Amino acid sequence: MTRVLSCIQPTGDVHLGNYLGALRNWVGGQHEADVFHGIVDLHALTVTSAPGVVGAATIDLAAWLFAVGLDPDVATVFVQSHVPEHAQLSWVMECTVSFGELSRMTQYKDKAAKREGDFISAGLFTYPALMAADIVLYDADEVPVGEDQRQHVEITRDIAIRFNSRFGDTFVIPVAVMPKAGARVMDLQDPTSKMSKSAATDAGLVLLADEPAAIMKKFKRAVTDSDNEVRYDRESKPGVSNLLDVLSACTGETPAVLAESYTQYGPLKSDAGEAVVALLQPVQARYRELMADPGELAALLHKGADKAGVVAKTTLARAYDHLGLVPR
Ligand code: TRP
């Protein structure tokens, strides 16, 4: 069966765009391939934060991943720092990639430029080596990533190919694949931008943890336009089309067909809001249950770390062996 690895950084607050755009597909995907989902807390350390911040975000994200429906008996959901082989193999990757190759990573150049005058950790620079370790550790065949991460999967392939040619066949060479397209949810206040935590205001951002009343309020205040015609047209009517897309993602009906049942914006806004509230209701209930039961959540993550650990140990041992390190 195809082994698929996707990882997500615990950077806080999961939102509707994350859910409808990606997480919901992970749930369907767990029955189509052998999926590993890492919560990559070590990656989140490249930009330093206060004690406990990454841990709290890790717990929160884990609770959401199980709440949306990832089944710990089917998918392997684990926390990166619970599997020490990530950090161990990362060093081997660092010694296999060149300084020049890392210097050409566009994400590094962008992030370093934005932090000019600020603290730039060496981890920000070597991050692709850790990501390469994440991937080859699980013999992943496929890595679903967006455009921004393609270059990191490419460098992973280069590193794995180089290692294999120097030390013998050790790693599976992964390919980057397009994630299954979910809904593209736009900011409710700025419907030409993707919903994101970094928006100027939170008014257009629907968090998975939002109370029903807050969700309804955000939808009722959603930016539309002034021509009072409900029609699906992403180009000239981005706000209205976004509401139709969200409603479509919740109901399964196409946006164009949905558009025919509305003549005014008001009812479309409240129906979209209500559909989201209803869709999230069971997910939020399960999230709250898990957050109220830290022992249960820890047990689920323990199980994931055990499953991930078995594969990771085997791969690291193979790499050390092919390197010819002295066994202890
Ligand atoms: N770098 C990825 C991001 O920022 C996260 C990530 C870390 C990842 N390790 C990975 C993604 C391995 C896929 C596979 O989004």
Cβ distance 43 to 131 under 8 Å?
yes
> What total of structural domains would you count in the chain?
2
Decide if 124 is inside a domain: yes
Nearest atom, ligand 1, residue 127 CA: 1
Q: Where are the alpha helices (DSSP H) in 228-293?
A: 238-251, 255-260, 265-291
Decide if 23 is inside a domain: yes
Based on the domain organization, do 221 and 151 belong to the same domain?
A: no
| CA-CA-CA-CA dihedral for 28, 29, 30, 36, to nearest 10 | -140
Decide if 193 is inside a domain: no
Based on the domain organization, do 126 and 227 belong to the same domain?
A: no
Q: For the range 52-57, what are the long-range contacts, defined as Cβ-Cβ under 8 Å and sequence gap of 24 or more?
A: 54/10, 57/10, 57/11, 57/12
Based on the domain organization, do 33 and 174 belong to the same domain?
A: yes
Q: Whose CA is nearest to atom 9 of ligand 1?
A: 131
Tokens 């607050």 -> residue: 13
Decide if 169 is inside a domain: yes
* 100-130 pLDDT tens trace: 999 999 999 999 999 888 999 999 999 999 9
Cβ of 131 below 6 Å from ligand 1: yes
Based on the domain organization, do 148 and 234 belong to the same domain?
A: no
- pTM over the 0.85 mark: yes
CA pair distance 178, 94, nearest whole angstrom: 26
Domain with 136 in it: what CATH number? 3.40.50.620
Based on the domain organization, do 54 and 160 belong to the same domain?
A: yes
Tokens 């809904």 -> residue: 183
Cβ distance 216 to 231 under 8 Å?
no
Based on the domain organization, do 273 and 318 belong to the same domain?
A: no
Residue 201 has pLDDT above 90, yes or no: no
Residue 271 belongs to domain spanning? 202-288
Catalytic residues: 111, 194, 197
- Contacts of residue 174, defined as CB under 8 A and 6 or more positions apart, other chains included, come to 5, 135, 136, 140, 141, 142, 143, 153, 156, 157, 160
CA pair distance 26, 41, nearest whole angstrom: 19
pLDDT at 179: 85
pLDDT-based confidence at 275, cuts 50/70/90?
very high
Cβ of 37 below 6 Å from ligand 1: no
Cβ of 145 below 6 Å from ligand 1: yes
pLDDT at 200: 82
pLDDT at 68: 97
Based on the domain organization, do 305 and 254 belong to the same domain?
A: no
Based on the domain organization, do 238 and 271 belong to the same domain?
A: yes
Based on the domain organization, do 71 and 113 belong to the same domain?
A: yes
pLDDT at 213: 98
pLDDT-based confidence at 199, cuts 50/70/90?
confident
CA pair distance 154, 145, nearest whole angstrom: 11
